[in-house]
Amino acid sequence: MTGTRVLGGEVERGDEILTPDALEFVAGLHRAFAATRDELLARRARRGPLGFAEETRHVREGDWRVAGAPGPLRDRRVEITGPTERKMTVNALNSGAKVWLADLEDANTPHWHNVVAGQVNLRDAARGTVEFRSPEGRHYTLADGDRPTIVVRPRGWHLPERHIEIDGRPAVGALVDFGLHFFHNAELGRPYYYLPKMESHLEARLWNDVFTAAQAALGVPHGTIRATVLIETIPAAFQMEEILYELRDHASGLNAGRWDYLFSIIKYFRDQGPDHVLPDRNSVTMTAPFMRAYTELLVRTCHKRGAFAMGGMAAFIPNRRDPEVTAQALAKVRDDKSREAADGFDGSWVAHPDLVPVCREIFDARLGDRSDQLDVLREDVDVTAAQLLDFASAGGRATRAGVESAVDVGVRYLLSWLGGNGAAAIHDLMEDAATAEISRSQLWQWVHNGVVLADGEPVTAELVRAVLRDVRGRLDGEHLDLAVELFEQVALADDFVDFLTLPAYERID
């Protein structure tokens, strides 16, 4: 392991994951691909006009399809998402969903313990041996019968893993997550992944090169790996076909990552004037014309190329102590999933086991005896760049309630994240990092574009700080001071911070 150092502390059963061979495998990927990753991240800073690129027209007009789906990924009508904490792993595998998105990214705080223990839990889950006993003595075990196919989401290209040093620099977090999981589980024949946060087909090409090299290094047949790409950035919305093309031997589908998509829009156009300012988060619905353009284009693109189109997150959490809240949550989920099924999606996401039956019922009714809707080609859809960029179609206004909600939810999420829990239940919603990103980026955009609230009050740094003081007074917790400090930094700093998890990562452990 020349040049590789593990700087993190001991984690229970970590020696099973951080073996010399596994670390050397990760180091090989890092040495081969980290420089390209750095170049691609630098390209992101060059924001220019968005549109369908002329130089890749031949890809969009070409006659090609992605590889056919392997058996375990042919039916994806309901997918449950969540972190790889051990109890939640058992619950996800017992949920009745077709797929479990095992999240090493936005639903996971990258404490060293979480990074390594997550790999331990994934290894046990793949072998059907995972179980959990709570401090109170409750025993969680896997139920008999079919279990969801495990699809792992590694960190995005932008995040480092500072607890592993390779040749004097932090390892690339994405390559650590993918490399450790692939090394220990590829032999089982189901190395499936969700790829987040990409902004171009060149970033997809890099992943494809990583997959090709990893399979060759371990003697795994080319094309065994399958990847579903989250289209959750505005630049990627204009390159859906190109992204699938670059990954065509390994592609499984695309997903409409709605919350990060909104964050990306705000971030990309943060200083471009009032035509690009979005209203309160809760008033931007999936029925807004620019969001409809995004999701319908995704379905058409996927089915044109033989790939699955996966719907977005239902983040509502049923409250077993409050039937009224539960009824409202189920009604919203039912409307959301019914729209997706009617649009041609092949399945969709939920964040809680109690929502699996609702999503399954809706897609069962739509699919009948079929496993998917790949035959629904949506040739009626013809989306233009102007439609994708018509943010004014959202309607609505920025309001005082929106400012207060953004601060409240953002601080609450950071408080949870700093404590090690990246999937936080806040006001009957299951929130991940995208929540805090939308909250703080909206405030930054409103302040820097001179937005005036519906009641006539301008959004200023002083207003945000006043609300922040009020929120701080209502909350408590070990990490509250740091959560407030970080939120103020990423919401009000003169220079926009690309991802709040970058400065936050420097303050944990």
Q: Mind telling me the catalytic residues?
A: 153, 432
**Maximum C-alpha span of the chain:** 65
Q: Which of 161, 142, 1, 120 is nearest to 508 (CA)?
A: 161
Give SS3 for 231.
Answer: strand
How far is the C-alpha of 207 from the C-alpha of 174, rounded, in Å?
A: 10
* Cβ neighbours around 295 below 10 Å, total: 24
* Interior/surface letters 123-133, b for 16+ CB within 10 angstroms, e for the rest: bbbbeeebebe
Q: What are phi and psi of 486, to 5 degrees?
A: -65, -40
For the sheet containing 169-172, what is the strand order?
Answer: 4-6, 160-166, 169-172
The residues facing 81 across adjacent strands are 101
CA neighbor of 272 nearest in space, from 391, 353, 95? 391
Beta bridge partners of 505: none
**Using CB atoms within 10 A of its CB, is residue 391 exposed (0-12), middle (13-18) or buried (19+)?**
buried
| Tokens coding 256 | 């409409």
Which helix (H) or strand (E) element contains residue 356? helix 356-367
Residue type, 504: A
